[in-house]
Amino acid sequence: MEPFEASSHSFIVKVWREGRKAAIWRGQITHVSSNDRGYLQEFDDIVLFIFPYIEAMDVKLSARWRLQHWLSRRKKE
């Protein structure tokens, strides 16, 4: 395995339109190697899904994203 591949993650993002008159979008994100999935209603959900994988690579994101991630986890509890 290439060094780059050992420290990288791949994701598949699918988006689709729901509704006719008041169309909204929805989506799904999948972590390729683990097949973990999340469902999307906002673009920020993409980053929130990816956040734990970035954090596991010891990459520090801004305080804004850390706060949003913390808040999203609290909502699920």
Residue ranges per domain, the chain?
Answer: 3-76
Per-residue confidence (pLDDT) for residue 72, from 0 to 100: 75
The span from the CA of 40 to the CA of 35, in Å, is 16
Greater confidence (6 vs 50) lies with 50
Per-residue confidence (pLDDT) for residue 16, from 0 to 100: 93
pLDDT digits (tens, 9 = 90+) for 4-38: 566 789 999 999 998 878 789 999 999 999 999 99
pLDDT band at 48 (very low <50, low <70, confident <90, very high): confident
Mean model confidence pLDDT for the chain: 84
The span from the CA of 15 to the CA of 42, in Å, is 11
